[in-house]
Amino acid sequence: MNRLTTTVMAGAMVMSSAFTGVAQAEKLVIAGRDGGYGDALELAVEAYLAKNPGLEVERLELTGGGLLEKVTISMREKSGAYDVIMLDDPWAVEFMSKGWLADLDKLGGGVGEDFVKPARDVSRYPVGSGPFYAVPFVGNVELFAYRKDLFDKYNLGRPESWTDVLAAAKTISENEGGVSGAVFRGKKANPIVTGFLPILWAHGARVVGADGEARLDSAAALEALNLYLELKNYAPKGIETYNSTEVRDALMQGTTAMTIELWPSWAPSLDDPAKSKVPGKIEIMAAPGQVQGPAPMLGSWLLAVPADAKNPEQARDFIDFLTSAEMQKTLALEIGIPPTRSSVYKDPEVIAKYRWYPAQVEALQNAQPRPRITQWSKVEAILGDYLQLALIGEMPAEKALSEANKKIARALSR
C-alpha cells in the first residue's frame, strides 16, 4: 500500500519562507499519490526546499486506495498527522462537509481565477459558491480520440454528437478490415460508469439530480444507454472485460477508430513511434455533445490542508508554490502532469510539446464533476453493476436503469 516514504532536509533552520515570507515550520508532512503524481511532488519538494533551506519534508507516496484510507483515518481521529493531503475530487465532498479541511480563504490567498473553472468550483463547499477548502493540482479530464486518417478516408467529419460517433463506428467497422469502430472500458464498477457518464450527461440526463434524488429512470437516460449499447456492435469482442490496458493497446496498435475515453496520461504515447503504430494519426478532443454540448468527466486531484494540521501556514505556502503557473509549467513539461491553470495551456512551449492541449483545456472548461454527494462510491458501484448487466445482454436497458434507480434511491436515503 505504501510504496515510499521520503524525508528531506536542506541546510540550517531559517525563520522565513522564501516563497511568501510566512514563519517557517520545522517540518511539513505530505500525504500524496504514487506514480507520476509522486514524481511531480518529489520535483516540487526539491524546488521548494531550495527556496526554504532548513525545512524538513516527509512525503508519503500511496496508491489511491491507500491514500484515501490513511487520510480518512487521520481526519476521523483528529491525529494531526498531515499538513498537506492530495484528494481525488469525489472524496472532497465528505472531507469538506465534515469540517475536516482548513478554510483556505482564512489561510489567505483564496484560489485565483486563472484556475480552470470546473476544477476551481469543486475546490469549494458548497460546490461553486462556498469557501475554498482545496486548490486544483491535476487537471485530469476525460477526453475522446479518433483516427483522423480513417475519418478522412471515409469522408467523415469530426464527430460533434454521439449520433455522429455511432454512425462513424458503423461505417468504419463495416468497411475497414481489422479495425473496430469504437473501443471503451466495459468492465463493471468504475470503468464502465466512467465511459458512460459523458454520454448520459450529453443527453441531458443525470444519475443524481441537483435535488439529491435518483434521476436515472428517465427517457433521456434510456436514449443514452441505448446508444451506448449500440456502440457495442462495433466494438471488439470481449468488450465487457476491457479496462484501461486494453483500450490503450487498441489505440496504439491502430485496431480501433475511436475511443470514448482517453485520459491525459495516455496521450503522449500515441505520438511515440516506439510505442504507437499510428503516430500523428489520432486526434484528441472533448467528448461530443448531443442534446447539450460536450460534458466530459472531470477527474481533478486537489490539494488541501487538514483542519488539524500542525503547520497550516507553511502547508498553504507549499500548495501555492506547487500550483503556481511556473511550477505547473515545469511539471507539465518534465513529468506530463496536466495543469489546472488556463494560462499554462496557452504557453507556446507547452503546446509545442503537447499538440492536443488546446483540445484538453476545452474539455476541462466543459468538464462535469461527479455528483457532489458523500455516497458516490456506493452509487457508482450500483450503476456499474446494472450497466454491465445491460451490456452483456442479461437485462433490457429500460429495466437496468429502473432497477439501478431504485437501488440508488435507497442508497441516497441512508
Q: Which three cell numbers stand for residue 297?
A: 468527466
Judged against a pLDDT cut of 50, whether residue 1 lies above it is answered with: no
pLDDT in tens, 3-27: 444 444 333 333 334 444 566 668 9
In this structure, are residues 102 and 305 in contact, taking their beta carbons and an 8 Å threshold?
yes
Please tell me the predicted confidence (pLDDT) of residue 8: 46
pLDDT in tens, 193-236: 999 999 999 999 999 999 999 999 999 999 999 999 999 999 99
Please tell me the predicted confidence (pLDDT) of residue 90: 94
Please tell me the predicted confidence (pLDDT) of residue 23: 61
Please tell me the predicted confidence (pLDDT) of residue 110: 79
Section 315-337 average pLDDT: 97
pLDDT band at residue 294 using 50, 70 and 90 as cut-offs: very high
pLDDT in tens, 343-364: 999 999 999 999 999 999 999 9
- 153 or 2: which leads in pLDDT: 153
Highest-confidence range of 24-33, 80-89, 107-116, by mean pLDDT? 80-89
- Locate all alpha helices (DSSP H) within 219-345, ordered by sequence: 219-231, 244-253, 267-270, 312-322, 325-334, 342-345
Measured distance CA(221)–CA(257) in Å, rounded: 25
Pairing type for strands 27-33 and 56-62 reads parallel
DSSP 10-61: -SS--SB-TTT-PBPPSEEEEEEESHHHHHHHHHHHHHHHHHSTT-EEEEEE
pLDDT in tens, 361-394: 999 999 999 999 999 999 999 999 999 999 999 9
pLDDT in tens, 249-291: 999 999 999 999 999 999 999 999 999 999 999 999 999 999 9
Q: What is the largest CA-CA distance in the chain?
A: 70
Mean pLDDT of the chain: 93
Please tell me the predicted confidence (pLDDT) of residue 414: 85
Please tell me the predicted confidence (pLDDT) of residue 18: 42
Please tell me the predicted confidence (pLDDT) of residue 13: 30
Domains in the chain: ranges and CATH = 2-140+299-362 (3.40.190.10), 143-297+375-413 (3.40.190.10)
Pairing type for strands 301-304 and 84-88 reads antiparallel
pLDDT in tens, 245-256: 999 999 999 999
